[in-house]
Chain A
Amino acid sequence: MLNIKELLDKVKASPYREIVVCAPHTGVVEFAGLKQGDKVRGPGGDYKEKPGTLLAHLTREKNRKPIMAPEKGNVEVIHTRHEGQFVEAGEPLLTIKHYLTRKEVIELILQEALYLFRAPERAKYYFVPEVDQKLKVSGKRSVKVHEGMEFLIVSRMKRETPLAYSGPEGIIYSVYFGRGDNVDEGEPLIGVCPEDQLTVIQDVVARIQSEWEEEA
């Protein structure tokens, strides 16, 4: 059994994710004058049309290209020794310390705690009618799945085939796909939670919801 408490403590001890911004290709680096501890923000806007904070420029063959921050966070390390130097692809330029948001923490915990049933191929997925009905009427967490149970329909190019569940027995805790969406291969479809752990997980999620302070 997974020790959720331990996991939570681990997250709490270091509620950050470190994002290393590397040079995407070779070129001469020119930093944008950020200092350690400076705040940067990621792309914003309804369509992510506003680019994030400018971190540096990389010039290759007189083609000066900007490098933008991928996420919100603080600048942890800047490798200023590269300033004006030629770097190779993959050379770390900056490290951004990204404070985990509430959603990310929940996601992190769930990914660890739940059994994720992944899509075997790129297709559209639907629940079989009985399961669908049950999910709609009584909500998630009302459906129990067990090994070999046919619970999904794989729909691809108008060919519909049933899909059997494989994995530990448990309750459908979260559904990661929408009706009619194409799901890529290897993407999680559902998260399954063993019945005895349900209360624990719910408890943890509730605690994170209320306790986790989001950084402004």
Chain B
Amino acid sequence: MDVDKRIQSLRDRLTYISDIFADREDESVRLLTAKFGELLERHASRPGGATREELIRMEDLFDFSERKLDTTLTPMDRVRIVRHPQRICLKDILENVYDNYTEIGGRGEYNIDPSMLIARAVFSRRVGEKVINQMVMVIGQEKGHGESFRNGGSVKPWGNAKALHYMKVAETENIPVHTFVFTPGAYPVEDWPGAAQQIARNLYELAALRVPVISVFSEGGSGGAEAVGLADRRIMLSHGYYSVISPEGAAAIEGGLKLGVRATPELIEKCARQLCITATDNLNNGYIDRVLQEPPLGARPYHYDFFRELRRELVQATNETVSGVKPMKLFRAMAVRDSKSDDAESIFMRWTLSPTSLKRLVEARQRKYRAMSRHARMDGTGIVSRAVAAAKGSIWATHSFVRYDLLGRQKKRLDAMFEELGAEAHLVRRKLLMPLKKGVDRILPGNSMEQVRAGEEVKERLTRLSCPEDGACITGSEWAWISPRSQEDRTISCPNVRTHHCPDLWVPDLFGDFAGVCPSCGHHFPMEYRWYLENVFDYKMSKEFNQQLESVNPLGYEKFDLKLDKAKEKTGLKSACITFETAIEDVAATVAVLCAPFRGGSVGAAEGEKFIRAAERAGRKRQPFIAYVHGTAGIRIQEGVNGVIQMPRCTIAVRRYIDAGGLYLVLYDTNSYAGPVASFLGCSPYQFAVQSSNIGFAGPGVIVETTGMPVSPDYHRAYHALQRGHIHGIWDRREVKKNLHQSLLTMGGRNLYYR
């Protein structure tokens, strides 16, 4: 029986090896197959079966070959390793790493989302004489060993919502969170609460979650990984990958493939190499803190030594995080830093933190992310201007502090007091004088008529929100900027002609007077970002900043330099993000624009940095912060993790800004998809869309590819996004300025001093 078991385990190892090196001819694999075949034959023919010695020899050969093969692993092999059903999954870790655990809200497939697993787990440790139980909240994607109902670890929005819920529970209970990232990416359904918007919400909360968060990366695919991966310490398993997109996805985009056509293995292999997705790459780029070495060819459930290592690593990482912010640590902190072996277990550190330590912890986390991806962009600003900008920044901060906090707060308090007093006085006066006034009115009836009329006018002004008859559609040449497309002498058909029977439109009318809006059905034709810059944001009068931040090719992605140069030449921009300060009807505001013509408005390191700086500037100057998204295709895949890390970075910046009491307003135009929507845009409490825009987590092609379900052509329309609760309003292009002004006056937090 024992022999059979061992043979079975060898057979499993062989299948594993041949699966990993599927399309590669390798001497070792062939040798192993042959030798194992011989062993099986002997085992079958001989009455006693294979002998002990033979088995030991065979196992040694397997060990040796695995070690040898491990040195030849390519990035794509690693991708195959993490996707293999034999790879360890979260359940294995819970069983073997923690001493006890209770799964919460799930039992196999009976779960709101089986691919998201939540558990209360315990480390039981013996320190001196005592046994100490330390609780943690374990949150992570569960792939299972090839169980289909878990969607391969692709979490649906409600799964992420559940994760968020339990992060908050951990926050109330003041226990650390251990997250495990085992996902190829989130499941792209657009139901409520929205794939993108839920990830954005998770990131937003994680950005200031007041408990230590440790995350372990095995398979980190883009947005799905970020939903639970924003952590104080990020440990990565040596055979895992962390990437902005799957190599297949990258190959499909690179090859410009249509739906249903598969990319060639060579192209996929090349993309995997170029995306720099391995643990070593990520460590070198500074996106993870440690790499945990796995056994040769990756950890499988029977590698018990590995689980012990992982346990040690988790305890140590939590200790380190906690000790970093504790007020009283003495030389335990030193011991924690130095411990290399199993010592981590013996150092005891209470994982519950005081409110001040938690504050420090959150600040440390935010600082850590702020410092990332410096190498992945180019800052062409000279030293002098940089120094000037820094000096100016501190002057603004001081100025704002003195003017708005020191003096302004007192003034506000006084104002509020006078307002209250005034209201009281008004009431008293009214009570006293009303009878008198009535008497007077009775004697002189002509007086009252006039008053009523004035009152009505005021009432109308107060209750009227928008009035199209006041000239929403400006006629003639009243637009400050008119699209050059209006010069063409031709007509164009509205895409809604089938349903709305719109007549053909003469282009000069459409793009000139009508601002690209079909007068018959209200369809918004895509408009250049310049139109908004000039007609809404008054770009000519505005002050642009950080112009010199430039997108580069940090990973040396093949031919990407050329593409970037072409985009820079075409648009005259250095990155897809334009940031400037402007005034909207006399309200000073900071604006960040993501413009589609520059590589689809995709977000890379330069764009992220500009966005963050804009948010910081808005915070320092106590201005509202408007993100106008002319269009975004998502995260720039050619920058690899340098791009995807902008999701947590920008979200943290936005979170800091909102927490400081500002107004963060997002306006979507044309098409906005993926990463940015799933992070720093989607987390805004005020998101609006221009009519006829499309908003979503994944485009229709990706949805069909990953879920196999075709979606209706109008799936991503703004109205559907509104219906699903993703956005909070839809605006007409011609009324954007008016609506923006209205929002500036009515929305936002305590730090807006123009009101």
Complexed CA–CA distance, A45 and B709 (Å): 12
**Which residues in window 476-525 of B have CB below 8 A to A?**
488-493, 504, 506
- Asked if A61 contacts B491 (CB within 8 A), the reply is yes
Asked if A103 lies at the interface with its beta carbon under 8 angstroms from chain B, I say no
- Asked if B493 contacts A62 (CB within 8 A), the reply is no
**Which residues in window 34-51 of A have CB below 8 A to B?**
45-47, 49
- Asked if A62 contacts B713 (CB within 8 A), the reply is no
**What per-residue 1/0 map shows which CB atoms of A41-71 lie under 8 Å from chain B?**
0000111010000000000111101000000
Asked if B712 lies at the interface with its beta carbon under 8 angstroms from chain A, I say yes
**Which residues in window 61-115 of A have CB below 8 A to B?**
61-63, 65
Complexed CA–CA distance, A34 and B631 (Å): 39
Residue of A nearest to B504 (CB): A63
8 closest Cβ pairs, A-B complex: A62-B490, A61-B491, A63-B491, A49-B713, A47-B712, A46-B710, A47-B713, A63-B492
Number of interface residues of A (CB under 8 A): 9
- Asked if B710 contacts A45 (CB within 8 A), the reply is yes
Complexed CA–CA distance, A62 and B488 (Å): 10
**Which residues in window 438-490 of B have CB below 8 A to A?**
488-490
Distance (Å) between the CB of A119 and the closest chain B CB? Answer: 22
- Asked if A60 contacts B710 (CB within 8 A), the reply is no
Using known A-B contacts A49-B712, A49-B713, determine if residue A61 contacts B490 with beta carbons closer than 8 Å. Answer: yes
Complexed CA–CA distance, A46 and B712 (Å): 8
Distance (Å) between the CB of A30 and the closest chain B CB? Answer: 16
Complexed CA–CA distance, A21 and B490 (Å): 25
Contacts of B713 in A (CB 8 A): 47, 49
Q: Per DSSP, are chain B's interface residues mostly helix, strand or loop, or mixed?
A: loop
Distance (Å) between the CB of B247 and the closest chain A CB? Answer: 29
Q: What is the interface of chain A, defined by CB distance below 8 A to chain B?
A: 45-47, 49, 60-63, 65
Distance (Å) between the CB of A85 and the closest chain B CB? Answer: 20
- Asked if B490 contacts A65 (CB within 8 A), the reply is no
Complexed CA–CA distance, A61 and B493 (Å): 11
Contacts of A49 in B (CB 8 A): 712-713
Residue of B nearest to A46 (CB): B710
Contacts of A60 in B (CB 8 A): 491, 504
Distance (Å) between the CB of B487 and the closest chain A CB? Answer: 13
Given contacts A46-B710, A62-B491, A63-B504, 6 further A-B pairs with CB under 8 A are A46-B712, A47-B710, A47-B712, A49-B712, A62-B490, A63-B493
Contacts of A62 in B (CB 8 A): 488-491
Contacts of B490 in A (CB 8 A): 61-63
Contacts of B504 in A (CB 8 A): 60-61, 63
Complexed CA–CA distance, A166 and B504 (Å): 45
Distance (Å) between the CB of A54 and the closest chain B CB? Answer: 16
Contacts of B488 in A (CB 8 A): 62
Contacts of B712 in A (CB 8 A): 46-47, 49
Of listed B489, B506, B713, residue having the most chain A CB within 10 A = B713
Distance (Å) between the CB of A12 and the closest chain B CB? Answer: 35
* A-B pairs with beta carbons under 8 Å apart, 10 shown: A45-B710, A47-B712, A47-B713, A49-B712, A60-B491, A62-B490, A62-B491, A63-B490, A63-B491, A63-B492
Contacts of A47 in B (CB 8 A): 710, 712-713
Contacts of A63 in B (CB 8 A): 490-493, 504
Distance (Å) between the CB of A56 and the closest chain B CB? Answer: 15
**Which residues in window 591-646 of B have CB below 8 A to A?**
none
Residue of A nearest to B712 (CB): A47
**Which residues in window 663-712 of B have CB below 8 A to A?**
710, 712
Contacts of A65 in B (CB 8 A): 493
Complexed CA–CA distance, A45 and B715 (Å): 15
Complexed CA–CA distance, A45 and B713 (Å): 10
Residue of B nearest to A65 (CB): B493
